Amino acid sequence: DGRYGISTFVFDAKMPQDIEPENMQALLDAMQAGRDAGIKVEASGPGMQPAIEVAPTSEIIGVTVAFIVLVVTFGSLVASFLPIVTAVVGII
């Protein structure tokens, strides 16, 4: 009926943070041009969300809490270090 339109686009990037800033800006400019023309313009998808930054302090707190739980569970410092060391080696 001429009231709605849908357009799809795909950025040539494996991860949202790999999208070139100039490509993202071109998309945002095109969206603004549509808004300026009186069209409601929306975009969604992983590339349209801000990147989530994880602070290293949260990781340190998580490992510390995990270690305390392991010490309580196993009742031994040596036995508690083994899963932590295995996890760190697995990540590296």
Gap between the Cα atoms of 16 and 51, Å rounded? 8
Kindly give the interhelix angle for 77-91 and 56-74, rounded to the nearest 10 degrees. 140
pLDDT at 51: 67
Torsion of CA 28, 48, 40, 8, to 10 degrees: 90
**Sequence spans of domains, the chain:** 1-52, 56-91
Quick one: pLDDT band at residue 53, thresholds 50, 70, 90? confident
pLDDT at 6: 81
Gap between the Cα atoms of 68 and 4, Å rounded? 57
* pTM (whole model) above 0.85: no
C-alpha 75, offset from chain centre: 37
pLDDT digits (tens, 9 = 90+) for 57-74: 888 899 899 999 999 999
